[in-house]
Amino acid sequence: MLRTHAHALATTSAVASTRARRPRAFGTRPATPLAFLSSPAQVVSDVATAVLKTPLVLKRYTAVRCDVDLAFDGALTGKVNGVKIRGERWSSPRELTCESISFDVGACELDIGAALSMQGIKLVREAKGHANLVFDSRDFGNFLAHPLFLASSRLVGVGGSMFTFDKSTAHVSADGCLEYTGTWARDGVTRAIRMFPGENGSGAASLRVQSQTPNDDALERALEVFFTTLVIDLEGTELLYRDMTIDRTRERVRFNLDVTVKRFPSPNLQF
């Protein structure tokens, strides 16, 4: 969902371009050839998990785990059947937060040499997959105010005009919707907005917007298109909204996203 592109797959590159002469960011010794040959998938998984845990990527977390499924000849070729990343209560340096996160990416190709030398995980061939992020009300507000989301909203606009979201009003409602207020630059009017999961399918059908301002069809349609076509781009790792579900009892929203990893971002990217 978000160019709002949660970062987790992209973050595995946070140390990818660190030169060998610099101190190791996560204080782990390079994998030995013997350890790599005896359990290559475990070695690569441990490296990726260590990278995710660095302060460059996560300021706080409760749980972090990356599992890399190497192909039969993966120890020699870098071919990977898939990558799974799981986490709980993540917080980035710039306060992009979530209650839980899950990324599943299919076949790709990694630079095994970089993994052995503890330089991080470098992608040789792009991969596709899916992800989901679970937000409470605070997380949703942080998302609406995050620089990556704001940059995308300024670039695309809502119906061609900027819509300023009010973080303090973001709420996951027990009524089964997301609530927030915002001001549309087209007319300068502040609206209360409710956003519901769609019935089925993709695109605008996967999300329904209801403005509390009468006869506001134009903004409602514009916000639907904005969210369902919004791409969060982490310098080559793209997250695109697919659909969402709301847990009314716990007041949580789960965003389901499509993922394309063309390349990992530079370690200087702050998210």
User: With 60 as the cut, is the pLDDT of residue 133 above it?
Assistant: yes
Question: Are 43 and 74 contained in the same domain?
Answer: yes
Residue 212: Cβ-neighbour burial (10 angstroms; 0-12, 13-18, 19+): exposed
Secondary structure of residue 113 in the 3-state scheme: helix
Calpha distance 238→5 (Å, rounded) = 6
Nearest to 233 by CA among 151, 160, 130: 151
Residue 268 lies in a domain: no
| Predicted TM-score of the model (pTM) | 0.78
Q: Is the pLDDT of residue 68 over 80?
A: yes
Does residue 104 share a domain with residue 37?
yes
pLDDT of 170: 98
Q: Which domain, by its residues, includes 64?
A: 8-133+235-242+256-261
Higher per-residue confidence, 17 vs 101: 101
Q: Can you give the pLDDT at residue 12? A: 37
Give the range with max mean pLDDT: 6-10, 33-37, 116-120, 204-208: 204-208
Let me know whether 107 and 18 are in one domain.
Answer: yes
- Give the tokens for residue 165: 């979201």
Domains in the chain: how many in total? 2
261 SS3 class: strand
pLDDT tier at 14 (50, 70, 90 boundaries)? very low
> Same domain for 204 and 111?
no
Do 145 and 126 lie in a common domain?
Answer: no
